[in-house]
Structure formats: C-alpha cells, structure tokens
Amino acid sequence: MEKKSAALFAEALQYIPGGVNSPVRSCASVDSVPLFIASARGSKITSVDGVEYIDFVESWGPLLLGHAHPEVTRAVLEAVERGTSYGAPCENEVILAKEIHAALPSVEMARMVSSGTEATMSALRLARGFTGRKKLLKFDGAYHGHGDAFLASAGSGVATLSIPGTPGVPEAVIMDTLIAPYNDLAAVENLCRQYPEDIAAVFVEPCAGNMGLVLPEPEFLPGLRSLCDRYGALLVFDEVITGFRVAYNGAQGYFGVKPDLTTLGKIIGGGMPVGAFGGKREIMEYLAPSGPVYQAGTLSGNPVAMAAGIAALKVLKTSDYPALEQKVEIFCRNMEEIFARKNIPVCINRIASMFTIFFTPVKVRDFAGAKTADTKLMTKLYKGLRQRGINFAPSAFETAMVSFAHSEENFSKTLAALEEIRF
C-alpha cells in the first residue's frame, strides 16, 4: 500500500537532495520513507497509492481550516483568472494588512513576504537597523526559519535530524546570537546584564512549537516584555505558527502581552506561500522605501496568495476556537488514559489546536526536557499510526496540528489505533 510512494521516493533521491524539498518531510528519523501525496481534502490526505490518512500535520500548520477548504479554493481560482502576479500594488494587499491589524492591534503596519523565513530574517534586519545594535537573543530549540543568525540551537528539522553545527553559516554571524533556555527568565536577565547595550531583539515563539510543543509559564512572556523595556531591546513574537491558531488574535491576544514586532506565516497564506512581519509604526517606517533598511520581494503580496489568506481569515474570524480547544483537550486526556493503561510515561503538552506527545516522565518546559523523550517509542507510534491510516509528523520534536475539519470520528479512530499499537 506504499509501493508508488516508495518508487517515487527512490526516483526523487536521484534528483532532489534527500528526496525532499524541506528536511522535515524526510521520514528518516522514524525509519520510514515519505508518503507522496496525490490529493487532500478536509482532515484527510490521500497518497499516490490511493490510501487515505487522517492528517495531523496540516502542511505543518497553515491548514487550520483543513485541506482544500471550499471558500479558500474558490478565492484562489477567482484570483488566478485575474492574473498571477502584477509587480505592482493590488487591493488585496491592503485588505489583508488591515485584517491583520484588526486581529493583532500591535501590528500597526505590516510588510508581506513569501515565507516565514523571510519574515523573521527581515524582522531581525529591521530590529538591528532600528536599534543600531547587533545581537539577537533566541531560545534553545526554537525555530525561526533557516536564516543564518537563527541556526544556532535550532529546533524543527535541525533537532529531528540531529544536525550538530551549521556548516555554511559564518562563525561571525552566529557570534551575535545569544541563547537562553525557554522559560528561563533568569538566564535572559543575565544575558541582558552582560550585554546591556548590544541586544537588538529578543525573538521568541510565544508557544514554542518546534521542539515539540512547549508552553510559556505564566511569568515568562510578561517577564520578557519588561526585560526588553528595561534594556532597550525589541521584543519579537514569532507567531508564524501561533498567529490565528492559538486564537484569532494570536498568542499575543491569548496571553495579553504586546510585542514590538510580530512575524507571521503559515495560516495567513491559507495554504499559499505567504509570510509577513509587522509592528509599531515608528519601527516599520524604518523599512525601505519609507526608511533606510532594505527589504524587497518580486512575489511579495502576491495577488493569488493574498486572496487565499483573506478567504482563510474570513472563515476563521467566525470559527469557534474554544470549541476546538475543548475537543483537543478531551482527545489528549483520552490519549493520556490509554498510555497510562499501557504503563508508558508520557507528557502531552497542548494548547488550542496543537499538541505534542513526549514519551518521557518529565514535565517538558524547555528543549532539555523535550530531549529526554524516547525517540524509539515515537518511531513505533509513527509507524503504528501510519499503518492504520493516520498521519503524524515524523519526529519526536514537532507539534501535531488539529483543524476545524477534524471530526469526532477522526479522533475516535486515532484513539482506537493507539489502543492497538504495541509499544
């Protein structure tokens, strides 16, 4: 039932490094070959072998409405008919920027780009240009795209595939990246004291989603806010995952902490390649052409991608986030009970429509805790679910994504599969 996938993968290995166009799609860490997907709809993906899987990856986060949502699809088709790119402004760019501002009031102005990586790279350059400072503070196991400065102690594929250093990234670049453990305010304060006038920005995933899901402890985000204020660093929330997912008004709305800059991606593109960064007017106006910090993009604000994003946000705006969160909570509790009966220690972290099963007795609050998870059990889980028509991220350090399209039947089928799997 995976013959065509295996054949395509063998061929892909000849022409594409590692056979995949993004390392997280490699199933090497779970001792499998990737499934090649032929189509997707709602909560399900269908492989080239014609097998249907309940999907808890959702293209790694963009598809909170599920695959091929009819309103998003219609918006894309209508936009394509009007041309795929103009290289000149279009109305949809204004509409999307306004809608982002309405949802996230801290984003007074936004610049559209084509990926989350571009958003974080550009936000860092802007923070450095605006403050006249060089250093970046990020957290151990956090992932902010593959920009040079962020590839120190990175999460996501870097963690999954145990890639140690970062060949190709000059040491001089990494020298300006400071690392603190997630949820460790004292470590952040120490670095601030050590470099009181050098830190341009503190980048944080307000819920860390790339070392598996790790939630901020109550004092963490407010504490970062006050340290940034005290030391003149910009606080940047990387909401590429959490924006419009944790709540319509993002993690900043959910936790009530206001960053100086926000980076977005994934959901705001409705499944098309989109990213954005934005924040305070005085900072954003430092960007070319109104200011001196240069940033540009041939396909930025692409009319088709903007149409997809606008359509997705329009549906999400009236979607019942608390109801979805409640479903996920019950689902996670049921999973905990199953693992308890099997005598397998787990820590399931969850918020809104995201969760991670860590196979560890430790309460996971940072990357060191995440790394105590048993990756062999994760491999068994991944393979066991896949055999039973359920698609999880092929990694112990990723976040499972639930969509508004997931049904009670999807959850109960997944629970039944977990019961069956022999760990």
Ligand X SMILES: *Cc1c(COP(=O)(O)O)cnc(C)c1O
275 residue type, one letter: G
Q: Least distance to ligand X from the beta carbon of 24, Å? A: 9
Query: How far is the C-alpha of 45 from the C-alpha of 65, rounded, in Å?
Result: 14
Planar angle of CA 393, 239, 254, nearest 5 degrees: 105
Query: How far is the C-alpha of 384 from the C-alpha of 233, rounded, in Å?
Result: 46
Going by DSSP bridges, is the β-strand pair 135-139/109-113 parallel, antiparallel, or unpaired? Answer: unpaired
Contact 56, 392 (CB under 8 A): yes
Q: Of 266 and 380, which has the nearer Cβ to ligand X?
A: 266
Of 53, 143, 254, 382, which is the active-site residue? 143
Q: Of 65 and 213, which has the nearer Cβ to ligand X?
A: 213
Catalytic site includes residue 238: yes
Catalytic site includes residue 374: no
Contact 266, 60 (CB under 8 A): yes
Encode burial over 32-68: b for 16+ CB neighbours within 10 A, e otherwise: bbbbbbeebbbbbbbbbbebebbbbbbebbbbbbbbe
Nearest to 308 by CA among 265, 275, 276, 269: 269
List all residues 6 or more positions away from 268 whose beta carbon is below 8 Å from its beta carbon.
96, 100, 243, 244, 274, 275, 276, 309, 312, 313
Query: How far is the C-alpha of 370 from the C-alpha of 354, rounded, in Å?
Result: 16
Q: Of 143 and 321, which has the nearer Cβ to ligand X?
A: 143
Q: Of 24 and 364, which has the nearer Cβ to ligand X?
A: 24
Of 44, 135, 138, 266, which is the active-site residue? 266
Q: Least distance to ligand X from the beta carbon of 399, Å? A: 9
**Sheet order of strands, 44-47 included:** 37-41, 44-47, 52-55, 390-391
Q: Least distance to ligand X from the beta carbon of 282, Å? A: 24
Q: Of 32 and 115, which has the nearer Cβ to ligand X?
A: 115
Tokens at 325, concatenated: 């969160």
Query: How far is the C-alpha of 12 from the C-alpha of 314, rounded, in Å?
Result: 38
Applying CB under 6 A, the residues found at the interface with ligand X are 115-117, 120, 143-145, 205, 209-210, 238, 240-241, 265, 275
Q: Least distance to ligand X from the beta carbon of 171, Å? A: 23
Of 238, 254, 366, 380, which is the active-site residue? 238
Q: Of 114 and 414, which has the nearer Cβ to ligand X?
A: 114
Q: Least distance to ligand X from the beta carbon of 156, Å? A: 7
Q: Least distance to ligand X from the beta carbon of 123, Å? A: 10
Catalytic site includes residue 371: no
Tokens at 226, concatenated: 């006050």
Q: Least distance to ligand X from the beta carbon of 246, Å? A: 12
Residue number closest to ligand X, CB atom = 116
Kind plus residue range of the DSSP H or E element containing 211: none
Q: Of 296 and 340, which has the nearer Cβ to ligand X?
A: 296
Contact 82, 294 (CB under 8 A): no
Residues annotated catalytic, as ranges: 143, 238, 266
